[in-house]
Chains A and B, each alone.
Chain A
């Protein structure tokens, strides 16, 4: 389980400015999209669409701005543990409210 590799220490991955700007433009586009979509009534899907777009934005920030894409796998596992737990907590709590 040599997940805590140290290669990042000696050779830092430098992300160039262009990549960041590109991601920033994508984030702005998604923001515009979520505002635009909110005006249309899709019924029950509206909320899920908003969450989907927000998740896409968060994924971009996590992967590029926060370097998770270039980092050791151990960080991906950590984040997965936290998000999965949170997701499961949501599901178990809603098991009460949905079936009440």
Chain B
């Protein structure tokens, strides 16, 4: 692709002069790339806050009894860790940052379908984040219900539940509008020639995700709103003393919150499907299977929510139905894993930092996914419910899945977003530290949970002591890895060497525009003639071009 020339005097989107100056040119910009970067800054900030809280919790568990905080503080911290990480980091996560930045470019469009709505989404996200932080400092004190807001405790506690619910509601609205925008974009803005099955797989995964955002979020929105209404006006809705059924609340909550897990993981799977062909220099194996399995996960994943409630008193019938569907959803996930490994097979693999991240992801995500079947089976779940095993499963899937791939995507697209190259070796050291620390921390949780350590306790019995110490040391290793990673990227941002248009040899459209891209991405809207990962057709085209150049020279 080196023969591409940059046409004319191109101005990248950082330098484009609009009518507004300074920070206003960013926070009032409707450009999808600027919005994506603003999300990146906000999300990384919230990730650092959430991670710090996590490290503090691990520090408390270093010794028995009170180590650095009391039980009430611990309750608030695990609630905040969950709320911040879930609602402010992983749910907006990859779609908000990389979906915004790259979806239009990958489709060959100049922007999303509704740029102003996109800016509104960002503002709603920031407003929600501010309310969430604000609720910590109001009269009632930081919320201590756990991120699930289970009734009746969330109706009784004196902490500021209503403010946090308002924050979650606003964040949900932001998520819905982003999803709506992306669906419309994918329907309406694909470049000429880009049929549905010529879209990059990242676009497919964003499409499936957007549908879940759209269909599931309103239900949790109204459910949380009802909890707030019940708290404020005393309307009888979920309170058992007023005839309400707390299990119905759990249904309503998980009708959204289980599909939300797929909002988190599907875009990550899309990114993996981009990174693997690029670094294996090989067409993706089973394009249609991967595309369709995204939709299948979105669909089946909607009907497994009851597996969060196996021991809360549901009927036996619904227990086995939900368990069955939980096993079914493993199939499309496995289809993807097999297709990825099949793509790597006999590829010319270039083990750069993003691919190393992806390999670590496949390893931890497979463990996470398989442990999901352990807790998805009725009998074992009774033993493991509310233990560290569940915490381990969740972190393997969501942190090892979405979290790892969020940073893999950052490394993959960093040259395109900032026009700079980072030090690959340092990045690999950081990834190794993160993975090592991750396994020390969360694999120990599997053992702890299996032995019976309950989650959300600020204290433990003496027999768990050394495992807790080992896990806490793991958290230090992991956090050091993140510090190395962020410093490496920051140095690259400040004084890294300039990145070319296509440093990895990628095939999708974002690698055909300059780094960083110009304001409206494309000089001319591209016309799509081959599939997104068609390395074969690409080589042929290059060969023909060369022959043409040769004959042109000969004629001279």
Contact = CB atoms under 8 A, between A and B. Distances in A.
A and B, direct touch (CB closer than 8 Å): yes
Nearest to B184: A4
Given A82-B215, A92-B306, A96-B318, A1 B251 contact: no
**What is the size category of the interface that chain B forms with chain A?**
20 to 34
Interface string B303-323: 101100000001111100110
A93 B247 CA distance: 11
A77 to B, nearest CB: 11
Interface in B360-377: none
Contacts of A82: 215
A84 B321 CA distance: 18
A89 interface: yes
Nearest to B299: A85
Contact of B314 (A74, A89, A96): A96
B315 A97 contact: yes
Interface in B259-298: none
B182 to A, nearest CB: 14
B195 A1 contact: yes
Nearest to B183: A78
B303 A92 contact: yes
Contact of B187 (A4, A92, A95, A97): A4
Contacts of A92: 303, 305-306, 318, 321-322
A58 B315 CA distance: 33
Interface residues of A, number: 16
A26 interface: no
B544 interface: no
Contacts of B303: 88, 92
A81 interface: yes
B329 to A, nearest CB: 14
Contacts of A88: 302-303
Contacts of B321: 92, 95
Interface string A62-76: 000000000000100
Contacts of B251: 93, 96
Contacts of A98: 315, 317
A95 B318 CA distance: 5
A4 B315 contact: no
A95 B144 CA distance: 32
Interface string B159-191: 000000000000000000000000000011000
Contacts of B305: 92
B315 A96 contact: yes
A4 B314 contact: no
Contacts of B318: 92, 95-96, 99
A100 interface: yes
B460 interface: no
A81 B215 contact: yes
A89 B223 CA distance: 14
B315 A95 contact: yes
Contacts of B314: 96, 100
Contacts of A93: 251, 255
B89 interface: no
Contacts of A96: 247, 251, 306, 314-315, 317-318
Nearest to A86: B215
B317 A99 contact: yes
Contacts of A74: 187
Contact of A95 (B211, B215, B247, B317): B317
A100 B315 contact: yes
Contacts of A81: 211, 215
Given A1-B196, A96-B318, A99-B317, 6 more contacts: A74-B187, A89-B255, A92-B306, A92-B318, A95-B318, A96-B315
